[in-house]
Amino acid sequence: MKKIAIGYGFFCCLWASTLACTKNNLPSGISVKDTVTVRSIASSNPVLKGLAANPLIRLTIDVPATISNKKYQRIHCNINAASVGDIQKIDVYQTGNTAFATDNLLTSCSQLSSSFDIPVNLTVQPGVSFIWLSAVLKDGAAVNKKIEVHCTQLTDDAGNASSVVETISPFAKLSGFAVRRAGDDGVNTFRIPGIITTDKGTLIAVYDIRYNNSADLPGYINIGMSRSTDSGRTWQSMKVIMSMGGPNDNSGIGDPCILFDAQTKKIWVAALWSKGNHSIAGSGPGLLPEQTGQFMLANSSDDGLTWLTPTSITPQVKDPAWKIMFQGPGSGIVMQNGTIVFPAQYWDASGIPYSSIVYSNDKGLSWKRGGSGAKSNTTECQVVETTAGNLMLNMRDNRGSFRSVATTANMGDAWQEHITSYNTLTDPVCQGSFIKARVNTGNGLQDVLFFSNPNTSSGRYNITVKASLDMGQTWLPVNQLLIDERNCYGYSSLTKIDDNTIGLLYEGVKEIYFVQIPVKDIIK
């Protein structure tokens, strides 16, 4: 409600200012009440290659009751010159309210330049009407540029031009790539993203292939992988890298977590295998696939080109009395001493969940679990090494409203709740991503913690990236960037691309998106 109230107050001030300016320039005999007002606001979302619609700008046309139907024949726009060649067309839609929708296409324009007109046949009745501009990118478009479009004038059928009043909002948008779209390869839903960057600069993205619907395990689910060798500008065809069942036995494998070991050049992926009904709800005491979900690992030694058959480490890491133990989805780490660490979660014998870790200090030959859970009633977590030997666990907390945070100096034998735990990072009970990256902050290279999630206490929208320059002691509001305001499934995964760029792989609705983000846009 606060966000709406602030926005309403701003629009009231803007409205008053607009009327004042208009009143001072009205021709003799025309009053303010006879004036049409046109305002524009930019939506907060990237422009993604591969999508048929990318909202750019909403025009609000307010026609007073003293005027009959108003007809418009032309919308004048400007595009930043660097983006003109990347846009295939701009579509114009009319909607019944402020929400973007594509069910009423008015026209499309593909004759674009830095300054151009969109011919329209638009009739608006007295009251408030909403017009949206949406972009479609060319197949060969670069996705490391920003796209900026402005509407400056609407011209009516008599040739009279109405200036468009812009609100203060970020009109420059990130561009990106729809890595997986609902329906690709006949798949209903893609979910649970994880991403890493190898020493060759290759991006490896993993995710659930949910063939029949969007539901979690148990079900017909495999782990898919997409690979990019040009920092996310293009992506190779999907590969299935973990498959543990078929469409007829209700078995599946999902919730991937990925890491890259620069010493061995191996990529590791952890995932949960549910043989039949042995996901969280269907698991119980024991270690066998017929008793409990399995903590599975697969790896690649050739930069993601080929993958070994998955194997289970459940007998090594699960207490037989517990219901289940498996990874926290997203990404894992390799510590400074070479120890491989996956974030993990388990449900104890009483069915209480805890966040924890699973690790190997012999390069994956054997595996151990952290000695204890970090905090009760927490599940999906992510881990970083803040300083040598010290781990920080960032956790989804089922109590809601905030993330919980804990640290350990002895590989999880004991955990200490952090000063920011359950009071700093807003969260709607959802997975979040948490990485440490050495990047250029403007004052030279510096180790920075980055965090992404839906930045809300309720609902999944406003995918946001935040940065902490003091190893998680503080998360200043100035060092954050709203990436996508739209409703979504909410999961995300971060990776460093280079010293000046962070990559974000995140969920839309049934889809997986990728954007490159300049560090300078996050850290002010």
Q: What DSSP designation does 4 have?
A: H
* Cα(277)–Cα(223) distance, integer angstroms: 18
pLDDT value of position 33? 60
CA 493 to centroid of chain Cα atoms: 7
* Cα(76)–Cα(64) distance, integer angstroms: 22
- Residues whose CB falls within 8 Å of the CB of residue 502, separated by 6 or more in sequence, listed in order: 437, 439, 450, 465, 494, 495, 496, 516, 517, 519, 522
DSSP strand E in 83-215: where? 87-95, 105-109, 115-124, 127-137, 146-156, 161-166, 172-180, 189-197, 203-210
* Cα(462)–Cα(427) distance, integer angstroms: 11
* Cα(325)–Cα(369) distance, integer angstroms: 10
pLDDT value of position 169? 85
Task: List, in order of start, the domains of the chain with CATH numbers.
Answer: 35-175 (2.60.40.1290), 181-522 (2.120.10.10)
pLDDT value of position 80? 96
What 3 state SS string does 325-367 have? EEECCEECEECCCCCEEEEEEEECCCCCEEEEEEEECCCCCCC
| Catalytic residue (one of 148, 166, 290, 380) | 380
Tell me, what amino acid is at 477?
Answer: P
Which of 436, 449, 427, 435 minimizes the C-alpha distance to 378?
427
CA distances to 79, 167, 207, 506 from 117, in Å:
11, 21, 42, 35
In tens digits, the chain (524 residues) has pLDDT values of 333 333 333 333 333 333 333 333 444 444 456 789 999 999 999 999 999 999 999 999 999 999 989 999 999 999 999 999 999 999 999 999 999 999 999 999 999 999 999 999 999 999 999 999 999 999 999 999 999 999 999 999 999 999 999 998 899 999 999 999 999 999 999 999 999 999 999 999 999 999 999 999 999 999 999 999 999 999 999 999 999 987 888 899 999 999 999 999 999 999 999 999 999 999 999 999 999 999 999 999 999 999 999 999 999 999 999 999 999 999 999 999 999 999 999 999 999 999 999 999 999 999 999 999 999 999 999 999 999 999 999 999 999 999 999 999 999 999 999 999 999 999 999 999 999 999 999 899 999 999 999 999 999 999 999 999 999 999 999 999 999 999 999 999 999 999 999 999 999 999 999 999 999 999 99
Residue 177: CA count within 13 A, CB half-sphere: 24
Active site residue 380: yes
Global pTM value: 0.93
Give just the sign of the alpha carbon dihedral 476, 478, 481, 486.
positive
